[in-house]
Amino acid sequence: MSRTLSIAVLLLSLLSPATDMATASAWDDKDFFKHCPPSWCSKDGPEIRFPLRLESSNSSSSCGATCAKITCSGQDTILLHPLLGPCKVTAIDYSRAAFSIVPLVDSCPLQKLISINLTAIADVDRCALYESTPGKLVHCSSVFTPSGTAEFAGGIYPKNTADNIFGPISCFSNQSQFAYFVMPRLYMYVLPLDCKVISHGNIPIPNPSTSMHDPTFKQLVETITNFAETTATWENANWDNYGSIPSSCTRCELQGRPCAFSSKRHQVFCMDKRPHGSRVKVIAATSSVTAFIVLSVMVATTIYLSLKSRYNEEINMKVEMFLKAYGTSKPTRYTFPEVKKIARRFKDKLGQGGFGSVYKGEL
């Protein structure tokens, strides 16, 4: 019995070192991603790593170097866009410092842009989550279809009028007034005479600066009203707190090397390999769990066999005690099959004896 328990204790003692070795071999203590590991909101969601940081993670605030606020909502990755509000992040391209985002469904998404406090736009621009194109809200007493070309204020060469007007916008319109978004530099004479500007100042329309082609003003507004996928970028940031960290990180990513930050040198450096730290930890943890389960089963089996052996010894001891007590009476010996057959007729329990339960039956 003592030998069996000693083996069980030995197996249990092996569990802790195995787990520690698997974790220790995953990352060096000085590795940046040991302290700032990548995060995910779901298995298939975009990877969130430096210079970005998941707000709900346990990592230090120094693990992020942008003012982009990223959270998890269930399995979705959410970017708190300063103008569009909460947006679902479908992809993150670190080499372009860009999010692919889809605004969450709203009955009137353009209302968010109009209700923005324009005095706060300067602070929003410092986050560089987007480049904006100005727009104005116009009310007209009838529906019209823009056509032809028109000159723009500031000496800009003539452009297609239809590309710079979007509407009518249902959530701003009624039976007598029809709302349109118009490029501010477009001369008012190209609009019907009954149209007038009702917005106070310019309305910022998010403009993805990382697009391969420049979208028209109409396309920008359509993207928001149709909840289509758009882009937000953090590349052009030059904040007082972060300096040129985001821009420096894009250079690392373009070389296929992840970006990290040295708190001692207070500067960005490029890693030699991709930060699979979190994944390696998962693999190490999985291996540790598997080893724990296997060893636990072995320990449980050992303990079970030990207890079973002890139980059999106790039964044999009771039999020997019985024979010793009643040996002079020369009790008849029966084989196990015979006892099993006889016991089938024992249905009435009389009580508990010194060597077990006592039943009444017929032989």
Output the pLDDT for position 331: 67
pLDDT over 70, % of the chain: 72
Residue-wise pLDDT for 96-121, tens only, equals 888 888 888 777 877 777 766 444 45
The DSSP code sequence of 212-231 is SSPPPHHHHHHHHHTT--EE
Task: Identify residue 136 by its one-letter amino acid code.
Answer: K
Q: Is the pTM value of this prediction over 0.75?
A: no
Residue 54 DSSP one-character state:
B
How many Å apart are CA 37 and CA 282, to the nearest integer? 12
Least confident residue range of 18-22, 94-98, 193-197, 314-318:
18-22
User: Is a pLDDT exceeding 80 seen at residue 219?
Assistant: yes
CA distances from 238 to 131, 233, 246, 262 (A): 14, 13, 8, 18
- Which has the closest alpha carbon to 165: 138, 189, 142? 138
Largest CA distance in the chain: 128
Residue 98, burial from CB neighbour count under 10 angstroms (0-12, 13-18, 19+): buried
Average pLDDT over residues 12-19: 43
